[in-house]
Amino acid sequence: MSVRRLFPPLVAALVLLAGCAGGADPSGADSAPGSSAPGSSAAGAASPGPSSAASATGAVASTLAFTARTVNGAQFDGATLAGRPTVLWFWAPWCPTCAGQAKGVKATAEQLVGKVNVVGVGGLDDESAMKRFIGEWKLDGMTHLSDEAGVVWKKFGVTSQSTFVLLDSRGAVVHKGVLKGDDLPGRAGALT
């Protein structure tokens, strides 16, 4: 499936121009450590946290008001991430930067299991390519959304891969953009 079919032409152009390494969020939405990472649901990783971040009225932060499907075909509700810091990792199967980050993302998810949600959001390709990427990099111990249509990418304003969106336990975005090297474990851990 082509990028043009996944995203409006403007977003597709931005993705192609930004390249695999992407740039920092143009809005500058990067704040100090304390952002959160979504948990995973497979063996060795924590499942998304309880909805304790909901208000007394039961409302969930608008950032968590989305549904998607995992690469394994299960339904996923963003509200399940409430109450625990979350890392959303936006990746594409053909992205060499994403492949280079896979080991660190996996280690972060395993190290912070039960404390921080870590969720991959695959896009810019078809689901079979996403499954191959997950298998090749042994990422099957965490939740990965299949976002072929780019719905979750658009919700968070992501225009390039690899992008990390860190949310605090209330669902507020505390970082959006690139994280280099070993920055992810420290940034995600600081959210707890």
| Mean per-residue pLDDT over the chain, rounded | 77
pTM of the entire predicted model:
0.73
- Residue 89 contacts residue 153 (beta carbons within 8 Å): no
Residue 150's region, left for phi above 0, alpha for psi from -120 to 50, else beta, is left
Domain boundaries, the chain: 3-189
Cβ–Cβ contacts within 10 Å for residue 177, how many? 20
- Return the bridge partners of 75, or none: 69
Up-side HSE of residue 176: CA atoms within 13 Å toward CB?
A: 16
Lowest mean pLDDT among 41-45, 83-87, 117-121, 130-134: 41-45
Find the mean pLDDT for residues 88-114.
95
For residue 78, which of 106, 56, 54 has the smallest C-alpha distance? 54
182: pLDDT strictly greater than 90: no
Domain 3-189 has CATH 3.40.50.80: no
